[in-house]
Amino acid sequence: MTVSQAEPLELEPGEDLLAVARASFRGAAAVTTRATFALGSGRMRTRAFHVWHDAAQSSGLPPVTADMVLAATDRRLLFGRPTFWGRLPKHYTGAVDYRVISQIVAVRHGIVTGVAFAFTDGAFVEIEAIRARRLRHLVEVVDAHLPH
């Protein structure tokens, strides 16, 4: 069950926060590098994000921002918006129940670590991070909670 709603989500009573990581849409690092030397660089990144976002939402991911915070709990994976000062979000914008994730894998590609979510309906979504130690830990936590 994917949850995405207009109301902000919070932790449910008794729900434990186990891991938190920052990530971006798949391809963010490459498009940001290319856009650095081009005119209209912000538009290039925004355009690439919208293409990824449309595919990600149709695959089962809730609406997210180009740069996101993922929070793994003992029940679900929460998605939120990064705060200006780098603190944890007080509210999350969407959630994915672990029962709809069949597999999660982290793979390093040079300086970027990519994470792929495979959903039980056969769809998949990828995200990435450059500083990825926390993201790899989050993947381990989520994988341990998946119904195998």
Q: pLDDT category, 109, cuts 50, 70, 90?
A: confident
Residue 100 lies in a domain: yes
CATH number of the domain that residue 91 is part of: 2.30.29.30
pLDDT over 50 at 1, yes or no: no
Domain count, the chain: 1
Share of the chain above pLDDT 70, in %: 88
Q: Which domain holds residue 88?
A: 16-145
Residue 44 lies in a domain: yes
- Single out the residue of 97, 75, 99, 94 nearest to residue 17, CA to CA: 75
Q: How many CB atoms lie within 10 A of CB 75?
A: 17
The 3-class SS string of the chain reads CEEEEEEEECCCCCCCEEEEEEEEECCHHHHHHHHHCCCCHHHHHHHHHHHHHHHHHHHCCCCCCCEEEEEEECCEEEEECCCCCCCCCCCEEEEEEHHHEEEEEEEEECCEEEEEEEECCCCEEEEEECCCHHHHHHHHHHHHHCCC
Residue 11 lies in a domain: no
Burial track 81-95 (b if 16+ CB lie within 10 A, e otherwise): ebeeeeeebeebbbb
pLDDT in tens, 46-81: 888 999 999 999 998 999 999 999 999 999 999 999
90 or 21: which leads in pLDDT: 21
Mean pLDDT over all residues of the chain?
A: 88
Residue 1 lies in a domain: no
C-alpha angle 125/129/35, rounded to 5°?
95
136 or 41: which leads in pLDDT: 136
Residue 6 lies in a domain: no
pLDDT in tens, 27-47: 887 776 555 555 556 788 888
Residue 7 lies in a domain: no
Residue 38 lies in a domain: yes
pLDDT value for 76: 97
Mean pLDDT check: name the lowest of 2-6, 70-74, 85-89, 99-103: 2-6
pLDDT value for 34: 57
Residue 47 lies in a domain: yes
Count of CA atoms in the C-beta half-sphere (13 A) of 72: 21
Look up the pTM and report it: 0.86
